[in-house]
Amino acid sequence: MKVLISAYACEPNLGSEPGVGWNVIREVSKYHHVWVLTSNCHREGIETELARNPLPNIQFVYLDPLGWVLDWSKEGKQTQWAVHFHYYLWQIWGYFVSRSLHEQICFDTLHHVTYVRYSSPSFLSLLPVPFIWGPVGGGESAPKEFWKDFSQRAKAYETARHLLRSIGELDPFVHITAKKSVVVRATTDDTAKRLYKLGANYVQITSESGLSEAEINRLAQCKVPDSSSLRFISMGRLLHWKGFHLGLRAFAQADLPDAEYWILGDGPEKEKLHSLIQDLGITQRVTFWGRLPREDTLSKLAESHVLVHPSLHDSGGWVCMEAMAAARPVICLDLGGPSFQITQETGIKIPAHTPEQAVQELAKAMRLLGRDPELRLRMGQAGQKRVKEGFSWESKGQELAKLYEEISIQDKSCLKLVKKL
């Protein structure tokens, strides 16, 4: 089959959105011929990788609106509005390029992969070809009851995020994208509900995140530490919505005097979290390691027993998959992407009604896992199995290849029916 993929963010050896784009196109190219629309900012990284490891079934089409290249890796140094504006123009530009390509190649299927954002349209949906949208996320919100713990800056961020999403939902092209999609792949139930309101006909819930089989096998080698001291770990940027303050409060309440809590990452909440552990009287048992290289991060994970991931609105949850692959049980809030990834066999999901209730139940989960090594072992083994079966990039590629074929067959059957009529 001939497949055109829109992957604004797409680059090897990176995580987040570029990693999603690259891994999806690499895996589906094992089964079909793939053309990829992406930004010039990824060109150097892509061509360097292809020089080492050619992918014969992929052709890249680099484009940017009016020659304006915005380096995704420096997104943090750009204003968010500039990034959104560039992305929107890029989508429009991509439509005209893809329309010309379709006249030459006659694609069987179109697929938008990145950005993973439901509130921005994909103009590929305007072409007369079966269209798949996603994975897309962003429909998640921090429960309002939890805002009382946020700084004014954090509240402003949440308000702006909600405003931007609401503006996107008013865009008629977002509605057109949803209605014209044969299948929409949403990262969470919250996003799926919003997509149905936009007019989507069929929505699948699927994680945007994945791990290669090589990464899964490597993480499986992480032996559970023999240390008698129990060690909890949280990993990620120190942002208000990551909920690390909830994890620390729960740890203080858990009554596990020999336990430690490691936090890996850096960000604007660092000083606030340092002040919090002083107020809680747990300074001697909490270690902030800062932002570490990936190798060191995985080493710290290997030295830990339980991942604590109390995120308030996370579409993905890569660290949860890494922890499961390493046979570590996960404690998370029953929100967003982690809620989809974690099951009762692989970890403990905490309802998020109020901060006080969430902290109490997080502490209870810490006590339960802290005092029951056999339960940790069972959950860890179940997590490894779940990641291997449903979250490897290889299995995702097989799933997508099959989906393309099924959609193509349905489309051809409809055309035959129309001709008969």
Q: Is the pLDDT of residue 418 over 60?
A: no
- Prior bond to 157 cis, omega within 30? no
CA separation for the pair 290, 224 (Å, rounded): 23
Which class is domain 2-210+393-420?
A: alpha beta
353-358-361-363 Cα dihedral, nearest 10 degrees: 180
Token pair 């992929």 is found at 58
Name the residue with higher pLDDT: 71 or 310. 310
180-184-188-194 Cα dihedral, nearest 10 degrees: 10
Identify the band that residue 131 occupies on the pLDDT scale cut at 50, 70 and 90.
very high
Name the residue with higher pLDDT: 72 or 132. 132
Q: Is the pLDDT of residue 128 over 90?
A: yes
Name the residue with higher pLDDT: 75 or 271. 271
Helix axes 355-370, 244-253, angle to 10 degrees: 60
Q: Is the pLDDT of residue 315 over 90?
A: no
pLDDT at 421: 35
Is the C-alpha dihedral spanning 19, 20, 25, 27 positive or negative? positive
C-beta of residue 70 within 8 angstroms of C-beta of residue 93? no
Name the residue with higher pLDDT: 147 or 417. 147
Identify the band that residue 50 occupies on the pLDDT scale cut at 50, 70 and 90.
very high
Share of the chain above pLDDT 70, in %: 95
Identify the band that residue 207 occupies on the pLDDT scale cut at 50, 70 and 90.
confident
Helical residues (DSSP H) of 181-234, grouped into ranges: 189-198, 213-219
Q: Is the pLDDT of residue 152 over 80?
A: yes
pLDDT at 69: 84
Distant-in-sequence, close-in-space partners of 120: CB < 8 Å, separation ≥ 6: 84, 87, 88, 91, 168, 171, 174
Per the CATH hierarchy, to which homologous superfamily does domain 213-390 belong? Glycogen Phosphorylase B; (3.40.50.2000)
- Domains 2-210+393-420 and 213-390 are alike in CATH topology: yes
pLDDT at 78: 55
Name the residue with higher pLDDT: 74 or 20. 20
Identify the band that residue 205 occupies on the pLDDT scale cut at 50, 70 and 90.
very high
Q: Which parts of 101-180 are beta strand (E)?
A: 109-114, 131-136
What is the residue type of 83? V
Q: How far is CA 214 from the centre of its chain?
A: 19
376-378-379-384 Cα dihedral, nearest 10 degrees: 120
Long-range contacts of 358-362 (CB under 8 A, 24+ apart): 358/146, 358/246, 358/250, 358/310, 358/333, 359/246, 359/249, 359/250, 359/253, 360/250, 360/253, 362/246, 362/247, 362/249, 362/250, 362/308, 362/310, 362/331
Count the Cβ atoms, other than its own, within 10 Å of residue 294. Answer: 9
Look at residues 204, 259, 256 and name the one whose alpha carbon lies nearest to residue 230. 259
Query: Taking the CA of residue 183 as centre, how many other CA atoms within 13 Å lie in the half-sphere pointing to its CB?
Result: 20
C-beta of residue 208 within 8 angstroms of C-beta of residue 357? no
CA separation for the pair 206, 337 (Å, rounded): 9
- Domain boundaries defined on the chain: 2-210+393-420, 213-390
Distances (CA, A) of 240 to 217, 246, 306: 33, 10, 21
pLDDT at 24: 95
Buried (b) or exposed (e) across 101-115, using 16+ Cβ within 10 A? bbeeeebbbbbbbbb
Query: Taking the CA of residue 351 as centre, how many other CA atoms within 13 Å lie in the half-sphere pointing to its CB?
Result: 3
Count the Cβ atoms, other than its own, within 10 Å of residue 242. Answer: 23
